[in-house]
Homo-oligomer: A and B are copies of this chain.
Amino acid sequence: MKRYEQTTLKQIAADLKLSVSTVSRVLAGKGDRYRISAQTADRVKAEAKRTGFVPNQIASALRLKRTHTIGLIIPDISNPFFAAVARQIEMEAARRGYFIILCDSRDSTGAEVEYLKLLQSRSVDGLIISPVGRIGAHLRGLRGNGVPVVLIDRYFPDLEAPYVTSDNYGGAYEAVTHLIEYGHTQIACVRGIAGSSTADDRLAGYRAALGAAGIDYDPQMVAGDDFSESSGYAAAQVLLKSKSVKPSAIFSQGNLITFGVLRVLDEKNLAVPVDISLVSFDDHYYASFLATPLTTVAQDKESIGRDAVKLLFRQLDQGVDKITEGIHVPTFLIKRKSVAYC
């Protein structure tokens, strides 16, 4: 806050005819260690309370080179998945006396790179990021400089940085296998943004499940550009309009995508699951109340957030290069009513 007439150590010291160091030590809780007399300590505390002293963390940060701030860059805070993860991260950070600077990259690589630079000039102590593009290089530089970084949701195979993500491969495998068990062989996949580990791993899981069942993989069965509603909408349209392909089931890679798919289904008067079966990544309250309660692959957002913070602080404690671990948090398939026998 604009600290108009904020009390400072110096003022308290002057008022009490003590030195700033003494006041600092008392107020920093180091009175005992420096054997400040109980008397002076009390006087100082009283004066601090009287004047409403609030320590200036900016000054402290400058001196200590520790801001107690961590930067959080995510593609879209209004996506329920990221909102839930962000919430968990904020809580875990707060518990440890850290603040979160929230940066919404709007799925733009440019914005992301810009944020990275700005956060650096804000001297954040660490960074949790769900990267949009392949900014491995940038991050490598940061890590090389000793800045702790944790990737969430998406990671780079070629960047030896710690990350936390769902077991996207396993989740997709389970979802598609579920579909196959219900007799489906013509299964479409509406994918997220190509090149992201999230979309790639889910696609790999999809292919593996198909393969395990002896079903040929057909690239025509895959569509979609990113994780947005509009991409889901467009993809579902081409999938359902196609002459060469006739899906009896759809595997959607994300919650927003699913809305797009549902919109197309709605427009075409296709009912779930009688006309077409549907499984979606990401779970939410609403999934059970949809026209057809949705079968979903739920992600453990709390664990993702918690583990991300844990990995970040471990780097802070033990050094950046000691931690390169990647965590794949298990998903779980919630069976509702959007899958029927083919």
Residue ranges of A at the interface with B (Cβ–Cβ < 8 Å): 1-6, 54-59, 61-62, 65-67, 69, 72, 76-78, 80, 83-84, 86-87, 90-91, 94, 99-104, 106, 117-127, 142, 145-148, 229, 256, 259, 262, 266, 284-286, 289-291
Contacts and interface: CB of A to CB of B under 8 A. Distances in A.
B289 A266 contact: yes
A84 to B, nearest CB: 5
Contacts of A3: 65, 123, 145
Contacts of A147: 1-2
Nearest to A3: B123
B289 A2 contact: no
A152 to B, nearest CB: 15
Given A1-B127, A59-B62, A77-B77, 7 more contacts: A1-B142, A2-B148, A4-B145, A54-B117, A77-B83, A99-B118, A102-B102
A285 B286 CA distance: 10
B78 A90 contact: no
A58 B54 contact: no
A142 B2 CA distance: 9
B78 A99 contact: no
Contacts of A90: 77, 102-104
